[in-house]
Amino acid sequence: MSNSTIGKSVPQVTARAKVLGRALYAGDIKVAGMLHGKVLRSPHPHARILSIDTSQASALPGVKAVVTGADGPRVCWGVHHKERRILAEGVARFAGEEVAAVAADSEEIARDALDLIKVEYEELPALLTVEAALADGAPGIHPGRGNISHEINFERGDVDAAFADAALVFEETYTTHAQYPGYMEPMATVAQMDPDGRLQVWTSTQTAFLVRARLASALELPVSQVRVIQATTGGGFGGKIIEDANSLIAGLLALRTGKAVRLVNNRLEDFLACCSSVPERITLKLAMDRDGRILGKDTRILADCGAYSGLSAEVMHVSAMRSDNMHRLANVRSDASLVYTHTPPHGAFRGFGGTQMLFALNSHIDTMALKLGLDPLDVHRLNAIGQGETSVHGWKIGSTGLQECLTQCTNAIGWKERRTKPGIGSKRRGIGLAAAMHVSGNRTIGDWDGSSVVIKINEDGKAIIHSAEADMGQGAMTVISQVVAHELNVGLNCVHIVQPDTDSAPFAIGSLASRVTITAGNAAIVAARAARDKLLAQAARQLVVLETDLELWNGAVRVREEPERKVTFAELARNHIWRDGGEGIQVSGSWDAQTRMFDKKTLMGNIAPAYSYAAQAVEVEVDVETGQVSVIDSFVSDDCGKALNPQAVHGQSNGAAAQAIGWTLYEHLKLEDGRIANGNFADYTMPTPDALPELRSGIVESMDPNGPYGAKGASETAILPGAAAIANAVYDAVGIRMTHLPITPERVLAALRSRNESARHA
């Protein structure tokens, strides 16, 4: 097809609006008479709220409303547990929890009003660590419940027998830490009551319909009384699914005042309000035979969800199970516990629990391979699950390019030539490798993992696309547009995709679990082919030929054997209306993954229509005098099935690699007495360009049988192997095994001292 962009690098369809400053983010929305909201937060990790005096704040000129927990609905909200109020009432459970909110004529007045709210607290003992929360006699952070929010326990095969038969059994404990999403745009919402008395919300989100459901539930409104429009969203990385309270508070203030309310976090507020990634302590025990084949796997996880569970239970589920499906395993066991603490909540983050476990697993494989005298690359190859196989948890592998990813990244880094070369001087170099898998879609939410797309052909022939799958910068709107343009054989300039709006778009789950390309892409194919059929039928009537004699070509339908006989989409759309019984050309297409409903008792089921794979090789330089670790070279290879837009895939792969480097070496959300101590970009050390190497990436196209034109997800997999690849490279460089993240200079120096002391006493 002459106009197809499938498989070609094209700019994102949203790029022009963004670079010209025309894109409307939630904070840009302006409504006549709009008020400005601000939130008062608890300064204590655990305190009883004895009283709140809002009289002075309410009396301040320009203040239109002051609300507290007593003013909001009594219903609780949450994901795994309904346990959180919109504003805390009675007890504050973490430093930063929302206690009161103000709506005023300006941000300055609202900020001044916060200072006039008098809250009397009684500080209570705080459980700030998992160990403290699990100690005998520890009080329940939530009344009437223990401090374990969720548990996962399973065993498949005979793990103990596998350990008994192994040539090598190795056990180690790894710890991972919280990472702030670091998106460019902090959370923002504008909420108003529309002329019909419905709550209308513009917000920065990854899933408009899940936000609508949460707003309706927490504010005790029917869903039809809530309209959510996804504003242009400046990054999400999991942090903008449904765990923040921003849109809820804006909605509450709009209901209270009857006016539009703008609530935009500044960066300091966003650090306090946004869920960071889940810290986990992972104890991993593996059994291998002499060839490096994994015979058995035993995992124990203690995860910290903070004061509220949010999506942390689902994150821990991924840590406990997903990596099992990457290998040919028969004997696996897992025991995972999610624990409440009086700390800011943790939750969804790009990679969704895979980063934590794959740091441990890939470090473990590297260690055991070297103990057996094997090349870690060969061990990865030996254990990798293959196409057509079914994993230990019932996952059906329709495609996998893991072997090709391993080849591509190790060739790019010079694995055979540069590995284990002895270093000299104070700066030593080493290389490391790690592998990963992720899902493309996920049927664990409910018995549906699909998408719907609506297409209208306007009277000028342009196709208007409605989808509620969110684009937060990763290119979802571009991929859907490419698919529709390809099927209609028109250029991208002949299609337009509308920002998600729950009033006009079909229901969608949104951007999570790397699902949009495969689910919305397939739905777009169905919808576009339905639109094509309408166009062909109308053209057949006008040209008095059979539909089978026609083809779509460059915005027109023509007779295949007589190409000069044609009629444009514009003429067809108009004539489809202006005829007896006519109507506009509007179609809907839906697609649902042919996967199994996840069995929550057995934890079995093929949960996704496709599975993505990645491998990464890095070279690091370790300064043995300062302990500083620098990544010198990085190559991540991403199996995305088919790269519908290679430029976008490379952008996702390299962006993911940068986030992984940040988590591994630089970023660490620190708490002091339960309070975030580095909640700003001056103190929270995200990697700057001079801290990153020239990031390189490659694409492997395994052509998934369930994907649109063979495509599957390419948004998250590439973040998963980075931490372990760096840790393994550090070992290759200086012979120390880093099992705790982040890998800071202090930890490197401590490990070097410990190794040297052990050598002296040997």
pLDDT tens-place string over residues 552-561: 999 999 999 9
Top pLDDT among 580 and 596 is at: 580
Residues whose CB falls within 8 Å of the CB of residue 344, separated by 6 or more in sequence, listed in order: 94, 95, 96, 272, 275, 276, 306, 307, 671, 676
Measured CA to CA, the distance from residue 682 to residue 687 in angstroms comes to: 12
Q: How confident is the model at residue 600 (pLDDT cuts 50, 70, 90)?
A: confident
C-alpha to C-alpha distances, 393 to 157, 281, 448, nearest whole angstrom: 11, 23, 19
Identify the pLDDT of residue 418: 83
Give yes or no for residue 1 having a pLDDT over 60: no
Q: How is residue 549 annotated by DSSP?
A: G
pLDDT tens, 178-197?
Answer: 999 999 999 999 999 999 99
- Span of 233-247, 284-298, 593-607 with lowest mean pLDDT: 593-607
Residues whose CB falls within 8 Å of the CB of residue 762, separated by 6 or more in sequence, listed in order: none
Give percent of the chain with pLDDT exceeding 70: 99
Q: How confident is the model at residue 532 (pLDDT cuts 50, 70, 90)?
A: very high
Tell me whether strands 276-277 and 261-264 are parallel, antiparallel or unpaired. Answer: unpaired
Identify the pLDDT of residue 321: 97
Measured CA to CA, the distance from residue 53 to residue 120 in angstroms comes to: 9
Instruction: Give the distance, in angstroms, between the CA of residue 41 and the centroid of all CA atoms in the same chain.
Output: 26
Quick one: average pLDDT of 364-374? 98
Residues whose CB falls within 8 Å of the CB of residue 411, separated by 6 or more in sequence, listed in order: none
Measured CA to CA, the distance from residue 102 to residue 37 in angstroms comes to: 5
Identify the pLDDT of residue 730: 98
- Are the CB atoms for 174 and 359 separated by under 8 Å? yes
Give yes or no for residue 288 having a pLDDT over 90: yes
Helix (H) or strand (E) holding 382: helix 376-383
Identify the pLDDT of residue 462: 98
Give yes or no for residue 572 having a pLDDT over 90: yes
Measured CA to CA, the distance from residue 94 to residue 341 in angstroms comes to: 8
- Are the CB atoms for 584 and 502 separated by under 8 Å? no
Identify the pLDDT of residue 2: 67
Give yes or no for residue 662 having a pLDDT over 80: yes
Quick one: average pLDDT of 463-486? 97
Measured CA to CA, the distance from residue 673 to residue 495 in angstroms comes to: 54
- Are the CB atoms for 488 and 532 separated by under 8 Å? yes
List domains and CATH numbers for the chain. 31-124+184-235+240-273 (3.90.1170.50), 276-443+599-761 (3.30.365.10), 450-592 (3.30.365.10)
Strand order in the sheet with 427-440: 427-440, 610-623, 629-639, 695-700
Q: Mean pLDDT, the chain, as a whole number?
A: 96
What is the residue whose two structure tokens read 């008095």? 544
- Are the CB atoms for 219 and 255 separated by under 8 Å? yes
Q: Per DSSP, what are the bridge partners of residue 439?
A: 611
Identify the pLDDT of residue 379: 98
Q: Taking phi first (over 0 means left), then psi (-120 to 50 degrees means alpha), and beta for anything else, what does residue 711 get?
A: beta
Quick one: average pLDDT of 380-388? 98
**Residue count of the chain:** 762
- Are the CB atoms for 188 and 264 separated by under 8 Å? yes
Instruction: Give the distance, in angstroms, between the CA of residue 536 and the centroid of all CA atoms in the same chain.
Output: 40
C-alpha to C-alpha distances, 215 to 258, 344, 501, nearest whole angstrom: 16, 22, 15
Quick one: average pLDDT of 395-401? 97
Tell me whether strands 294-306 and 91-92 are parallel, antiparallel or unpaired. Answer: unpaired
- Are the CB atoms for 162 and 295 separated by under 8 Å? yes
- Are the CB atoms for 480 and 469 separated by under 8 Å? yes
